[in-house]
Amino acid sequence: MTPLPPEKSEEDRIRPHVYDGIQEFDKRLPNWWLYTLYLTIVFWVGYWAYFEWFRAGPTSAQEVGAELARIEAARLAVAQVDDPTLWQMSRNPAITAAGRAVYDANCAACHLASLRGKAESPVAIGPDLTDNVWVYGGRPVEVHALITKGVLAKGMPTWGPVLGPRKISEVTAFLLSRHREGDPIVLQPPSTP
């Protein structure tokens, strides 16, 4: 065994093993290395708590799903307005969320936040938008056209110039999300005022 070189301190003791004639000093890990390790441990605890214990952050699958919905929403926004497109929009969470916002800001006053209007409260002005009974037609394009034009004589405003076609498609999709494709459509003649 070779003696310690004189310049080496107490800390740098030689470790007892010998491999292939090579001996090692028992070096203390450098501080930058240790602090980096401690930092990663602290980060791990926070990261694990956020995503695994409290499940506060989205999972990768949710992130991918939301991103795909956003891409599809952008594609559908420029598509023409027809029944299949509007039904497809009604199944897209990015679009129905936008439609919900349009609805809450413009429609809930009369049709109520629940969409149930007169069916929920007799003092509501607008009719129920969740049932299968429609006055002006229940096909997606008919609902879209009715919202655009309104029924001024009956108190349903004309939304076309206020909201524009994109927001009307979004709010129509939101209404349709409370229905199912293929549900029966019961036509009710407009009541005389």
CB of 67 to ligand HEC, least distance (A): 28
Cβ nearer to ligand HEC, comparing 57 with 164: 164
CB of 48 to ligand HEC, least distance (A): 44
CB of 175 to ligand HEC, least distance (A): 6
Cβ nearer to ligand HEC, comparing 92 with 99: 99
Q: What gap in Å lies between CA 139 and CA 113, rounded to an integer?
A: 22
CB of 80 to ligand HEC, least distance (A): 20
Cβ nearer to ligand HEC, comparing 85 with 106: 106
CB of 147 to ligand HEC, least distance (A): 5
Cβ nearer to ligand HEC, comparing 27 with 180: 180
Query: Which positions lie near ligand HEC, rule CB under 6 A?
Result: 106-107, 109-111, 125-127, 129, 134-136, 143, 146-147, 151, 154-157, 159, 171, 190
Cβ nearer to ligand HEC, comparing 93 with 157: 157
Q: What is the dihedral of CA 66, 67, 72, 74, to 10 degrees?
A: 110
